[in-house]
């Protein structure tokens, strides 16, 4: 090798190293909240189609995590709230907690012969769901409270976990914990990777959700806010325990959601995701804060891979919020158009 060839080889190596280092610097753009840069290399939302909504979410995260951006949000204020039913997992043919409640009533029925003639228990035992759902919220609450009667919080958590392990969805035959939306799981991870703290704000029962949300969503029980019943502390079989009382404590739905956010989180979210009129006030509360904000509704439009419904559905009705989405600047996530897959099991 002559001197001229050696010079060319050295120049080529230097150029390659410079290009490589520049490429690495270009990939590192954002802070995850710990002061460490987050490398934007892979597609953070691979189950999303390359639509305007996906681009808008990524743009939002990019702006609020870029310390040089006027929209930068310090990590402590990066709060994102998510409804559960219809937003993170399916809610058809009815809310999954209702199915759990009906199964639990049937399992407990041998100890309660009076239920055979007492409504709404009688309707549950006879499979008359129409009568149950027409009986009113007070009657449904009575059913829900009966599922945890005489149970400590730990005992009820085991009941829920056992049911989830055994029960199967009537349409897909899958465990209910597999009826979660893969694109939303990716969104939760993406936000947390960028310094967000993610919360569930749901009209569902908090005691029903907390036993499994960390395993399924990566959201620990202390970050789950839901409808709750009053509790008391007592000695149970000689041990200190928390026991549920047959009295509603807090309803975390509609205008209760902003109240729950303030009461249990103490910060206004900068991003909120829902799917129904029950999330209207949560999105309104989020978007009316100062600075860059993101409010989004999951619109169920795919009758082949999931269900298509909105205004007329008895579960997850989307009517008022659908009409107000454009005026309020809320993103409408179209399941059919925006998502490549809905459930993880579609990939198998």
Asked if 334 and 172 count as a contact pair (C-beta separation under 8 A), the reply is: no
Predicted TM-score (pTM) of the model is 0.88
| pLDDT, tens digit, 9 for 90 and up, residues 136-154 | 988 999 999 999 887 899 9
Q: Which of 157, 165, 148 is nearest to 211 (CA)?
A: 157
Q: State the maximum Cα–Cα separation within the chain, in Å, rounded to a whole number.
A: 101
Alpha helices, DSSP H, located in the chain: 3-27, 52-65, 96-108, 121-125, 129-133, 137-146, 153-166, 182-193, 206-209, 213-217, 256-264, 280-287, 320-328, 335-338
User: Does residue 319 have a pLDDT over 80?
Assistant: yes
pLDDT of residue 347: 82
**pLDDT for res 7:** 46
Return d(Cα 45, Cα 339) in angstroms, integer. 10
Q: What is the mean pLDDT of residues 85-108?
A: 97
Out of 175-189, 203-217, 240-254, pick the least confident: 240-254
124 pLDDT more than 60: yes
C-alpha pair distances (Å), 160 with each of 64, 153, 167, 209, 252: 38, 11, 10, 9, 20
Q: Which CATH superfamily groups domain 52-93+174-347?
A: HAD superfamily/HAD-like (3.40.50.1000)
> Torsion angle, CA of 324/327/333/337, rounded to 10 degrees?
110
Q: How far is CA 301 from the centre of its chain?
A: 18
247 secondary structure, DSSP code: E
Kindly state the tokens that stand for 66: 């870029």
Find how far residue 265's CA is from the centre of its chain. Answer: 16
Lowest mean per-residue pLDDT among 25-29, 63-67, 94-98, 245-249 = 25-29
Per-residue CA distances from 79 to 50, 75, 298, 332 (Å)? 25, 9, 19, 20
Q: What gap in Å lies between CA 99 and CA 250, rounded to an integer?
A: 22
Please say whether the beta carbons of 151 and 314 come within 8 A.
no
Lowest mean pLDDT among 15-19, 67-71, 160-164: 15-19
Contact 108, 163 (CB under 8 A): no
Residue 31 and residue 67 in contact, taking contact as beta carbons nearer than 8 Å: yes
Long-range pairs for 36-42 at CB < 8 Å and ≥24 separation? 38/65, 38/193, 38/194
pLDDT 10s digits, 26-80: 343 455 555 555 545 689 999 999 999 999 999 999 999 999 999 999 999 999 9
């Amino acid at each position: 090798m002559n001197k001229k060839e050696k010079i060319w080889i050295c120049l080529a190596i230097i150029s390659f190293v410079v290009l490589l280092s520049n490429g690495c610097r270009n990939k590192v753009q954002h802070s995850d909240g710990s002061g460490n840069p987050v490398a934007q290399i892979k597609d953070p939302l691979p189950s999303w189609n390359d639509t305007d909504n996906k681009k808008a979410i990524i743009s939002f995260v990019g702006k609020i995590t870029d310390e040089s951006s006027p929209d930068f949000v310090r990590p402590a204020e990066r709060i994102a709230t998510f409804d559960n039913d219809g937003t993170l997992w399916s809610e058809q043919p009815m809310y999954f907690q209702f199915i759990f409640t009906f199964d639990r009533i049937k399992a407990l029925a041998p100890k309660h012969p009076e239920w055979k003639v007492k409504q709404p228990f009688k309707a549950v035992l006879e499979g008359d769901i129409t009568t149950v759902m027409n009986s009113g919220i007070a009657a449904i609450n009575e059913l829900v409270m009966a599922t945890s009667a005489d149970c400590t919080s730990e005992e009820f958590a085991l009941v829920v976990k056992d049911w989830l392990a055994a029960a199967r969805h009537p349409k897909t035959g899958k465990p209910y914990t597999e009826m979660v939306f893969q694109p939303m799981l990716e969104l939760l991870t993406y936000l947390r990777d960028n310094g967000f703290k993610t919360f569930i704000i749901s009209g569902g029962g908090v005691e029903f959700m907390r036993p499994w949300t960390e395993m399924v969503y990566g959201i620990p029980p202390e970050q789950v806010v839901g409808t709750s019943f009053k509790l008391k502390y007592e000695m149970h079989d000689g041990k200190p325990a928390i026991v549920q009382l047959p009295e509603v404590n807090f309803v975390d739905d509609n205008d209760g959601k902003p109240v729950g956010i303030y009461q249990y989180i103490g910060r206004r979210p900068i991003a909120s995701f829902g799917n129904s009129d029950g999330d209207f006030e949560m999105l309104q509360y989020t978007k009316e804060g100062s600075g860059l904000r993101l409010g989004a509704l999951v619109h169920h439009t795919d009758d082949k891979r999931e269900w298509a419904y909105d205004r007329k559905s008895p579960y997850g009705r989307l009517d008022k919020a659908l009409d107000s989405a454009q005026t309020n600047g809320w993103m409408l996530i179209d399941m059919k158009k925006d998502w490549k897959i809905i459930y993880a099991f579609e990939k198998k």
